[in-house]
Structure 1
């Protein structure tokens, strides 16, 4: 039997069909921006046990974002880190424990206010309703009395300094917005908090994997680390072109798997780069580029390890690059800075051989010739004196030159200086 349609029914049907066609032709809704890593401070070892006190960590973010999450890690402890509370807020000044009124939030982990972080494990907090901009200081107050202290400790740069405060009295002081419960700033010391992510319009994150030169060891003279200089340059770009910067430098770290030259326990300087690559780089949200600057400690050697040959350093770099590529990321290699080794010496020959390989092997997607930027034109075995802190490390002026020398086009950004 045929169904007859009245004019009113036909008109309604046409309207529905027209609306459906219009909806189908419209652009699909834009997906929400993904989470990226907006700051990092790679942990180096475990040193002691936490007192009955609260640590207020300070980390500086390098991109705008919302819905912050904090990672707490226990990679080295011989037992669990029993976290009784975590509070996350904003600090107007990194040198003061006082927080912006209304910014301090008690964080949850999987919906719970407490967590047990097993040995070798890490946890992320649930999203926290905070909005940050580049250069903002995020406080992460953790109360975990009696826990092994997985930390990051180093002689810090003079600006944008990571660090922490420790409460003077026993108990949980995470909710203290005034900061009166806390003692003096401890520059360069962080406990458990090793990364912060955020939902961001930035295109992703650059992770700088390195040793003390990346860590900012004694970058004295009034300026930031070279990674911070790079972050500031990127922050000046239009919002849709930006990338965040994460610093995974650990002083004394080696690029190859070997005994640490400076500490037989290995607790000073983090595991060798291949062993920490997953935790400190590949596991982070939003990674797009890795910037590798390591090898100085391998080539230099020390009391507990002889100088490494070029094949060892090159093999480690090749393996790291292959793993980064398998993860779907790009990797930029930087040449090794002058080390005050005598011209013609075995260590200087090794450094030159490694640098020649970095420049010519095409293992990396791009190369930054940091050696050429900082070497003394009259003696290429040393860093130019006005830019040098010591034989291995640039000062703040040297870091400024490194940060400004980087061609942003290696990260798919406008090529500006």
Structure 2
């Protein structure tokens, strides 16, 4: 994801606060999202360095985090949501900034702008709550080449840190008790890296067109085994396909590794807190209440079958509830068929019984008529010579190298999956106004 052009030649920052005017759009759309899933370290990080000495006691303490995110569109006015949803005590962010990354933790000169919250530079977020910043002016002219860097200074000890475990993006940390480096342009104070996002769940952009497609799912939507810093999860590839058609639709990703549709527990030895809230519990937060949400693409259920021991009927019952709830708000839903997992050596994913349940779920998705559209991911990823298995070309690990785990498609698989989505249909579905 970190391929860079000469940022200084294409990035400008407005030096005055953003104010509403007749020439500016008035609506806010999702430019980037990451589902808050729990408190660090509960979750499945990928490519993560050992942070034991960087986050002693699994918390931040008087240190600065520089979090790198890839917006899905250009823009000049942004808002940032900080989250303490899974904290047990208030967290004070003494300062926060947003600017443009140049390379590593370095920022493009002149682009780093202070964030405010109801006009104040410092904000304390109570446990279980989030806070949305005031608008900040940063000019992003090419979302494919430019990234936003959101820097936050945690004053004192944070306690449990709300996070999104698998970002497939490198972000940067100071050491504990290093103080406030949010305004720094150079990266000298940020020697440590992470492949997770902490305390950050949403970036909004001011836009005339707010129609949004929400890619909702588990680890396969979250990007396991896409490349780190490659922006090649299937939702990322879908966004680029839409851009090629000159569509104004935006794609945001609300996915959590290990996530399930139902509330059925995991098999013995599993980690229930690692999986985030089930789809039925996070649906309002991540889809129904999302600004501009018009279409949801649902890819979940394999963890219920292979990790939780659920039946196809239980997964389908969960689907029916999700369909009813999003339709009640005028949001359309595309069902994505479950990709194969035969040969997987953990949980129940690799068994013939799970494959039979998966096929029953996929039959419902394809034939029930309850979804507004179907993305047949199974058809483009399954090996016709070995039914139930991923195609060998898709069964390697693009994240850290080596063989795959027979469950997660790689970068090549994600390209094929995004190619299976009917973008013309998405465009038609998204133009039906949602109810609010």
Fold match by TM threshold 0.5: yes
Aligned to 1:46: 39
User: Of residues 84, 107, 117 in structure 1, which corresponds to 2:125?
Assistant: 117
Aligned to 2:216: 209
How far, CA to CA, are the matches of 2:235 and 2:267 in structure 1? Answer: 25
Deviation at 1:393, TM superposition (A): 0.6
Larger radius of gyration: 1
How far, CA to CA, are the matches of 2:413 and 2:337 in structure 1? Answer: 15
Q: Does 1:186 align with 2:171?
A: no
Q: What does the per-residue CA deviation read over 1:294-320, in whole Å, with 9 as the maximum and x for residues that have no partner?
A: 01111102xxx4x10111101111111
Q: Does 1:392 align with 2:407?
A: yes
Deviation at 1:274, TM superposition (A): 1.1
Size of the alignment, in residue pairs? 372
Q: Does 1:378 align with 2:385?
A: yes
| Mapped contact 1:336–1:371 kept (Cα < 8 A) | yes
Deviation at 1:196, TM superposition (A): 0.5
With 255-264 and 58-67 compared, the bigger mean Cα shift is at: 255-264
Once the two structures are superposed, the pairs formed by residues 75-224 of structure 1 within 5 Å of their partners are 75-93=85-103, 96-132=104-140, 133-135=142-144, 136-144=146-154, 145-147=156-158, 148-154=160-166, 161-168=168-175, 170-187=178-195, 189-220=196-227, 224=232
Once the two structures are superposed, the pairs formed by residues 17-36 of structure 1 within 5 Å of their partners are 32=25, 34-36=27-29
How far, CA to CA, are the matches of 2:268 and 2:199 in structure 1? Answer: 23
In structure 2, the CA distance between the partners of 1:171 and 1:223, relative to structure 1 (3 Å rule), is closer
Once the two structures are superposed, the pairs formed by residues 206-245 of structure 1 within 5 Å of their partners are 206-220=213-227, 224-238=232-246, 241-245=247-251
In structure 2, the CA distance between the partners of 1:111 and 1:260, relative to structure 1 (3 Å rule), is farther
| Cα root mean square deviation, aligned | 2.3
How far, CA to CA, are the matches of 1:141 and 1:291 in structure 2? Answer: 31
In structure 2, the CA distance between the partners of 1:60 and 1:325, relative to structure 1 (3 Å rule), is same
Aligned to 2:318: 316
In structure 2, the CA distance between the partners of 1:315 and 1:49, relative to structure 1 (3 Å rule), is same
Q: What does the per-residue CA deviation read over 1:10-69, in whole Å, with 9 as the maximum and x for residues that have no partner?
A: xxxxxxxxxxxxxxxxxxx89935211011111221123212210111110111223100
| Mapped contact 2:342–2:406 kept (Cα < 8 A) | yes
Provide the TM-score with structure 1 as the length reference.
Answer: 0.84
Once the two structures are superposed, the pairs formed by residues 287-366 of structure 1 within 5 Å of their partners are 287-301=293-307, 305=308, 307-340=309-342, 345-366=352-373
Deviation at 1:205, TM superposition (A): 1.4
Deviation at 1:266, TM superposition (A): 3.3
Unaligned runs of 5+ in 1: 1-28
Aligned to 1:15: none
Unaligned runs of 5+ in 2: 1-21, 41-57, 344-348, 396-403, 430-436
Q: What does the per-residue CA deviation read over 1:62-86, in whole Å, with 9 as the maximum and x for residues that have no partner?
A: 1122310011112211122222221
